[in-house]
């Protein structure tokens, strides 16, 4: 698993926002627990999943109780079973009660993305197609979700509008055509970002290749057309399939010979993994 972005600052930003949102002026219910008491807890997975979000979970507790201790029996990227104990917590009782929901929210949500990603990765095993994410992420949690995609064995597309150029239909129309749009992108002279162009027909594909495109997105093409695109391409550019990809269709798409398959559902249509935190005050 690789992820090139420094995550420490992002984890801190996410956790501070989550705690501020939940605690506000103070956790009133936690005051029912005597001050200064310690508590222990365990997090148990109620279903099979791929774990992701350990750093976010730990940071929630560390922020509220720097003396808290969390011992994990699994790490990000591991497959876990229903009924498996994921970690044990020793913390101030009030801090444990307050951190519980934000900490679980992070792990449940990020593990959901990792789990779905792994299902897609396994579905295309044996082909050379990579499963790729999109910018269709939860606002404010993009890097967290993209990290979770890597935990599931997926690959990150551009992180935002700042680190890659994706020329879509409206850009092509504004520029006056595929070749013109590509030339404008090349003229920017940005060697630190990739340039990708979206095509909807085989004629547009041929034009993009003739114009020097090295990464091409095949937008909502059927499988027969994508096979023709692969034959026309002859390895000159990376071909990415996109649009309406589902778990039951992804294998056939991969078998057309495309290099990448981008899937928005990895990050936008997720169902939180069911986790339980059981704690006992000492």
Q: Is 146 a catalytic residue?
A: no
Q: Of 38, 40, 101, 236, which residue is the catalytic one?
A: 101
Is 69 assigned a catalytic role?
Answer: no
Would residue 40 show up in a list of annotated catalytic residues for this protein? no
CA neighbor of 51 nearest in space, from 84, 25, 94 = 84
**Which one from 219, 255, 274, 281 is the annotated catalytic residue?**
219
Which one from 135, 136, 142, 251 is the annotated catalytic residue? Answer: 136
Give the active site residue among 75, 168, 190, 246.
168
Residue 269 annotated as catalytic: no
Query: Whose CA is closest to 217, among 199, 237, 244?
Result: 199
Mark whether 168 is an active-site residue: yes
Q: Which of 198, 240, 259, 260 is catalytic?
A: 198
Q: Which residues are catalytic?
A: 101, 136, 168, 198, 219
């Amino acid at each position: 698993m690789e992820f090139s972005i420094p995550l420490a600052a992002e984890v801190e930003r996410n956790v501070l926002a989550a705690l501020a949102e939940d605690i506000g002026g103070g956790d009133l219910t936690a005051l029912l627990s005597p001050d200064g008491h310690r508590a222990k807890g365990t997090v148990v997975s109620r279903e099979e999943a791929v774990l992701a979000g350990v750093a976010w979970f730990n940071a929630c507790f560390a922020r509220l109780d720097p003396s808290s201790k969390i011992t994990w029996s699994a790490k990000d990227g591991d497959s876990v079973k229903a009924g498996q104990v994921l970690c044990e917590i020793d913390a101030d009782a009030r801090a444990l009660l307050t951190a519980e929901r934000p900490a679980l929210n992070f792990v449940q949500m990020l593990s959901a993305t990792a789990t779905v990603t792994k299902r897609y990765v396994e579905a295309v095993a044996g082909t050379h197609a990579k499963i790729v994410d999109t910018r269709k992420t939860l606002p404010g949690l993009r890097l967290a979700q993209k990290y979770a995609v890597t935990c599931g064995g997926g690959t990150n597309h551009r992180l935002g509008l700042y680190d890659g150029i994706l020329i879509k239909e409206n850009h092509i129309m504004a520029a006056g055509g595929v070749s013109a749009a590509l030339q404008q992108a090349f003229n920017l002279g940005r060697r630190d970002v990739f340039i990708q162009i979206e095509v909807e027909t085989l004629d547009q594909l041929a034009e993009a290749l003739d114009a020097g495109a090295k990464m091409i997105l095949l937008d909502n093409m059927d499988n027969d057309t994508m096979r023709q695109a692969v034959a026309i391409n002859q390895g000159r550019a990376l071909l990415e399939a996109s649009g309406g990809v589902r778990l039951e269709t992804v294998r056939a798409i991969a078998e057309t010979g495309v290099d990448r398959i981008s899937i928005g559902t990895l990050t936008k249509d997720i169902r939180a993994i069911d986790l339980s935190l059981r704690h006992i005050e000492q």
